[in-house]
Amino acid sequence: MVAKRIGGGGDDVQMARGVRGDEAKALAQGGVGRAEPARPVELADYQWPAHSVLVVDDEEGMRNFLERTLARRCGMVQSAADAEHAAVLMARLHFDLLVLDIALPGKSGIEWLHELREHGYAGDVILITAFADMETAIDALRGGASDFILKPFRVDQILNSIKRCFERAGLARENFVLRRELAAGLGADPTGLVGHSSAMEQLRAMVRRVGQMPSTVLLLGESGTGKEVVARALHQTSPRAQRPFVPLNCAAIASELIESELFGHVKGAFTGAAESRNGLFYYAHGGTLFLDEISELPLAMQTRLLRVLEERKLRPVGSERELPVDVRIIAASNRDLAAEVKAGRFRQDLYYRLAVLDIVLPPLRARAEDIPDLMRHFMQQLSMQLGVAPLPLSHEVVSRLAAYAWPGNVRELRNYVERSLILGCFPPEPSGAPAAAPALPAGELELSLAEVERRHIECVTAACDGNKTEAARRLGVSRKTLERKFADWALAKAALQRAEPRA
């Protein structure tokens, strides 16, 4: 047994018997294989407690050495002597990185690497070998290797390679999140909670207290009340603030694509899956995943989400491997989820799993005293984008707007401010302000609210020539909601027709 203290980090690294002679000789001179002094390796510079590594090498000494080197630095380190045993480990456990020898008994490291990529493994792979040529290096890069290291190597070489891999993976997640925010017209920083009404002060106090907890939160309130703003505030006040915040509007994704969007998929999982793709759970790893309009999730998808929340594991579409989940879930809905549960449109067990703590956001009409603060905030934000000066707020304008009901809440107020800046003055009434209601025919006064809704939706859909997507946009609902209403009406009509012959 050869032993050598490496660097100044107090890390005793030993190489077991079975190492090739040149490697053992080099280790005794200060490295894992080079006959030159090793650079100091400080433990504090190489700490990855949230990451897992699998070492695959047929040399027992090399496996033992890498396990000892990485065990104090990584959350989990496992090893295998060949690809077959490594595949068994990967079927049970998730690994963020593989350190893979090329010359393995049976299936070579490069052959196995190609198989891993074809089956959707997205982690980094560092290939190590004592014998390499240009053709081998090119094949390794084509197979998706993250790095290629020749034996013998020093401790700092392998540690720096691993550090680069983990940093690159973190940057990829951050880049994905930032691109989504830019595409959605959001800045990297949250807008924060604006207003000093008693309702907002209570909300701030709740956010400060709940933000520190790891529990799932359910945000409830009318459309446009700022549920995503509150979700971002919860994220920013949590220990996960430095990790990604990933929002998803469940109503905006087609039902057949939502599972792939959340969990990812492997190549060939379904028609059109030409390559593997990570899901939003992957990009939100360590951070917060915000699921807006959670009530629009199909029932089958609700079942899969419940399993992920309970087991903290997910399986990408078409994959046989389960991946660990380290994500805080914040969900939101503008519907009464308890009523949706009673109607059979939302799973009761998922509702109780999400509603560990529910926060009801007040509508704007309930905190009209916040309108001046909100308008100044939006004018400061939008005047720079539009290149115009903010407008002065008079008492008359504020009083007039405070008397308005704001059915679109804060979102409608923001649109009103933007329109005012473009026009250079405050219009008399916000867009969509109700005009005097026309007198209804006597017969229509007897209609139920549900019947009025049905007739209005049918009229709007007919005006759109049957285009349900456009009709949903005009009505301010999702297409899925519209299709569900038409399906409910069709079922009710069929049931009535079946009952008529019996009568």
Residue 387 has what DSSP assignment? Answer: T
Please name the CATH architecture into which domain 364-423 falls.
Answer: Orthogonal Bundle (1.10)
Domain spans in the chain, listed from the N-terminal domain onward: 2-168, 189-266+276-360, 364-423, 447-502
What CATH class does 189-266+276-360 carry? alpha beta
Question: What is the rounded distance in angstroms from the CA atom of residue 432 to the CA atom of residue 404?
Answer: 11
- Note the pLDDT of residue 228: 92
Q: 447-502 maps to which CATH number?
A: 1.10.10.60
**3 state SS of 48:** strand
> Element (H or E) spanning 463, and its range?
helix 449-463
Query: Which region, left, alpha or beta, applies to residue 456 given φ > 0 means left and ψ of -120 to 50 means alpha?
Result: alpha
- Does residue 93 contact residue 76 with C-beta atoms inside 8 Å? yes
Overall fold of domain 2-168: Rossmann fold (3.40.50)
Domains 2-168 and 189-266+276-360 share a fold: yes
Q: DSSP secondary structure string, 238-301?
A: STTTTS-EEEEEGGGS-TTTHHHHHHEE-TTSSTT--S-EE-HHHHTTTSEEEEETGGGS-HHH
- Report H helices in 355-430: 371-386, 395-402, 409-423
- Note the pLDDT of residue 188: 38
pLDDT per residue as tens digits for the range 39-54: 555 555 688 888 899 9
Measured between its terminal Cα atoms, the distance across the chain in Å is 94
Residues with Cβ < 8 Å from 10, sequence gap 6 or more? 43
> Element (H or E) spanning 487, and its range?
helix 479-502
Cα-based distances in Å from 432 to 407, 416, 428, 429: 9, 10, 12, 8
Burial class (CB in 10 A: 0-12, 13-18, 19+), 27: buried
pLDDT per residue as tens digits for the range 42-97: 555 688 888 899 999 999 999 999 999 998 899 899 999 999 999 888 888 888 89
Confidence (pTM): 0.59
**Looking at 436-490, which runs of residues are DSSP E strands?**
none
- Note the pLDDT of residue 122: 80
Grouped pLDDT means (10 residues each) for the chain, 503 residues = 35 37 38 44 71 91 91 91 90 87 88 83 87 77 84 88 89 74 48 82 90 92 91 91 90 87 86 84 91 92 92 87 88 92 92 91 92 91 85 89 90 91 84 47 65 83 80 81 85 71 55
> Element (H or E) spanning 15, and its range?
strand 11-15
